[in-house]
A and B are shown apart, each in its own frame.
Chain A
């Protein structure tokens, strides 16, 4: 079991991590960052929960339970953004609004189909990292059931997840 401090920090960090991920995602067009990094950051936030609370607690999070759905929803969104222009008579992956047209700006957020595409990437990467970690940790748990003399491993630093 991890220390109280680690657990508290992990608990406090989950929401900020997700917020940071979304920020990286939607600001991607004006500042460094894109769907991929955002997905990894969000994924790390969840991995931190695994490290701090163990598998059974982490699996109670709704995002963990629906990781597969999230991943494939992301893929579908990206595919949709790719294929939708075909029905409007443009080549695939045409983004709207077109160059030189006015962009709807919402606060500091620009509304573009390219951002939607990135949202798809984000969801996929996020779902992928959470899903993979979940599956691997479960298969480890199953193995440990077989090996009765499993040695309790020491806790590992989860602090890097903050970067």
Chain B
């Protein structure tokens, strides 16, 4: 949990970042296990009670499962990348120090993933959700000099970020109806109905997009532009898992609506089919694995859609089994590519000779995914079939078909790399690239023999999702029960698919081509391009030159204010109050402001113009002082001073001859300018006059602040408001100031602050 903090220490020395990160990930694993064996724990801190926002995290079953996945597989991936990344950077010709940001973001991802797993509050969930999206953007776009990888990172960010807004909308809808963001409380309060269906649906859309389900699946294969450890981590255990984690977390709400469950079924099935078929057509290793991830998470969503205790616990179990196997396979793909320089199935083969350990370990992982007995995968399919059997024969048949597809594409992956005629040019790979695969493969095998601990974890997670005990007992049964028969049927069908490849390969390629022409990715491209064009259009119309920019602000502002002015009743407004003798200095000051303002319209020399403008400002500051607002007056004087200096300094940059010539030029399009100015000025004048004639009766906020000022130990209300009552606003504003400083440094000084 403190992994990102630990990284900062490691970041000082790029060489140490990886071991430090891995050590902390391992520590986090231990901490999670210990927390879980101690019976979980809860932290509940209200961090903005005014808005009902609480920092509520609880280490429940679901949280433990995903936290273990995130930290455990993260640990393996970190060990792997400690050797992979220097090689990768060397290939790309980049300095080794750039690896530090990689570790930073992967640990940031890990931290936010753990937070996401433990969050019990929808807003907190949203915060962590977006943190993972941001970290993933930098990880996917790690090779930032390549346009393709930048575009992929942006696509992942847009797809998951825009749908995250749906999560926020859903959360706000639930809050509006029930007055709480807390998921356990919402579970108690909500009742089936259209509101729950819509809000739950919106939240589910966010989850489905993150899990790369149809029709949002297109970002995942594109995201394979990332370095292999990133793919292995994000696309097996972390990022896509976050999607089903969200569904599992809000499942107590979702399962109240049959409509949502049916929608999950449809989406899950579609993803299984699309992902499975496309995985059979891909030639690039990581692309194949990406589509298989789409299809595998389709199973999980499908199981949530089936519902029941088998659905809830089975989905959790499936996530464990899949994450272990899939990350091992991704790491295999990276190691093989590292050894041969090839990333296409058609150019690989016979690798079992040079890399026997890797072949064995990834064979175990592949067997796990294909659900062969003696691996953890067997049980995932057992639960999968069990869940489907509860819903009748049609679903059973579909699940068998899905399992057969899995079998086929996994066989294609493994046999394509390791079997067949050996090729030349293969060299050995470092131990650190093989060891994590071996460890994960061993886990897959251990899970196949001693399924107890894994099942316990899944049951605990399923219980949270199902909101009732979801006890399932996966085990080997040597009899002809339906689950076993279905497994056998799936193997047989899978072999059939493998053998009959020439028959269907044309059709599968056709589907793939169709997806490229009319798929959602094209829609995404069109949308992004259209938005870009629209933004260019607005840019050209509004900010191309200074004159139209000013007009673009003045004219709409004037018209809007004017419309508001015309529809407001004007009774009682526009009174002219009586003028008393003691107001004389005030009136004098205001008069001189007016004179100065009028002068600006006829002045031609630039320096004079700047000075006249600033004199108007100084006199206005004086007016504030008359009104008894010394704080405002002080700030006004200071701001005016700075502005004058900026004006004069800017004029100093322009050669004096140019200034002279400019001052002598006739005004361009004077009538247009006068028209704009009069519209904006006249309406502003009318509105200010109207407002000042009728001082608002309620001044509750100001009175409240004045009353509270002594309580805050202050005698100056303005300062008390700035530092205390509205401190958060101040903080936001000064953060903007800091950002502007960075922006100035970036634009003018190549990012250096000195």
Contact = CB atoms under 8 A, between A and B. Distances in A.
Contacts of A140: 653
B719 A34 contact: yes
Contacts of B47: 86, 91-92
A128 B655 CA distance: 28
Interface string A65-104: 1111101101100110010001001011101010110010
A57 interface: no
B531 interface: no
A34 B631 contact: yes
B715 interface: yes
A66 B731 CA distance: 22
The listed residue with most A CB atoms (<10 A of its CB), out of B637, B639, B719, is B719
A117 B723 contact: yes
Contacts of B748: 135-136, 138-139
B753 A100 contact: no
B630 interface: yes
Nearest to B649: A156
A5 interface: no
Contacts of A110: 713
A107 interface: no
Interface stretch (B63-71, B443-451, B739-747): B739-747
Contact of B716 (A29, A99, A131, A163): A29
B177 interface: no
Contacts of A92: 47-48, 728
A2 interface: no
Q: Tell me if B's interface is mostly helix, strand, loop or mixed.
A: helix
A78 B652 CA distance: 37
Contact of A37 (B49, B634, B749): B634
Given A33-B631, A112-B713, A128-B740, A28 B45 contact: no
A34 B722 contact: yes
Given A91-B46, A135-B744, A114 B714 contact: yes
A13 interface: no
A1 to B, nearest CB: 15
Given A32-B718, A114-B723, A135-B748, A82 B46 contact: no
A36 interface: yes
The listed residue with most B CB atoms (<10 A of its CB), out of A34, A121, A132, is A34
B754 A68 contact: yes
Contact of B734 (A28, A68, A74): A74
B711 interface: yes
Given A78-B731, A135-B749, A139-B749, A160 B723 contact: no
B741 A32 contact: no
Contacts of A78: 730-731, 734
B625 to A, nearest CB: 10
A52 interface: no
Contact of B741 (A103, A118, A128): A128
B754 A82 contact: no
B630 A114 contact: no
Given A36-B635, A121-B734, A153 B656 contact: yes
Nearest to B611: A157
A88 B631 CA distance: 33
A71 B741 contact: yes
B719 A117 contact: no
A75 B738 contact: yes
Interface in A14-43: 24, 28-37, 40-41, 43
B738 A156 contact: no
B738 A128 contact: yes
B137 to A, nearest CB: 24
Interface residue tally on A, bucketed by range: 35 or more
Contacts of B730: 78, 117, 121
B517 interface: no
B48 A91 contact: yes
Contacts of A156: 645, 648-649, 652
A163 B641 contact: yes
B713 A68 contact: no
A44 interface: yes
A56 B508 CA distance: 70
B641 A160 contact: yes
Interface residue tally on B, bucketed by range: 35 or more
A34 B723 contact: yes
Interface in B646-660: 648-649, 652-653, 655-657
Nearest to B728: A93
B371 interface: no
A79 B741 contact: no
B734 A124 contact: yes
Interface in B609-652: 630-631, 633-635, 637-639, 641-642, 644-645, 648-649, 652
A79 B716 contact: no
Nearest to A36: B635
A41 B715 contact: no
Interface string A108-135: 0010101101101100110111011011
A93 B648 contact: no
Contact of A114 (B50, B656, B720, B728): B720
Interface string B682-721: 0000000000000000000000000000011111101110
The listed residue with most A CB atoms (<10 A of its CB), out of B48, B50, B730, B741, is B741
A125 to B, nearest CB: 7
A124 B656 contact: no
B192 interface: no
B608 interface: no
Interface in B574-621: none
A75 to B, nearest CB: 5
Nearest to A105: B713
A9 to B, nearest CB: 16
A67 B631 CA distance: 26
B719 A33 contact: yes
B729 to A, nearest CB: 10
Contacts of A99: 711-713
A103 B719 contact: no
Given A28-B719, A32-B634, A153-B652, A79 B644 contact: no
A127 B638 contact: no
Contacts of A153: 652, 656
Contact of B638 (A41, A128, A132, A136): A41
B57 to A, nearest CB: 13
A52 to B, nearest CB: 13
Nearest to A31: B716
A151 interface: yes
A125 B713 contact: no
A152 to B, nearest CB: 10
Nearest to A158: B645
Going nearest first, the 5 A-B pairs with the smallest beta carbon separation are A68-B753, A32-B630, A99-B711, A40-B638, A139-B748
8 contacts: A34-B631, A44-B638, A65-B754, A71-B737, A75-B738, A99-B711, A135-B744, A156-B652
Interface of A: 24, 28-37, 40-41, 43-44, 47, 51, 65-69, 71-72, 74-75, 78-79, 82, 86, 89, 91-93, 95, 97, 99-100, 103, 110, 112, 114-115, 117-118, 120-121, 124-125, 127-129, 131-132, 134-136, 138-140, 151, 153, 156, 160-161, 163
Given A99-B711, A156-B645, A163-B637, 17 more contacts: A28-B723, A30-B715, A33-B634, A89-B45, A91-B47, A92-B47, A92-B48, A93-B724, A93-B728, A95-B723, A112-B713, A115-B723, A128-B741, A131-B753, A136-B748, A153-B652, A161-B641
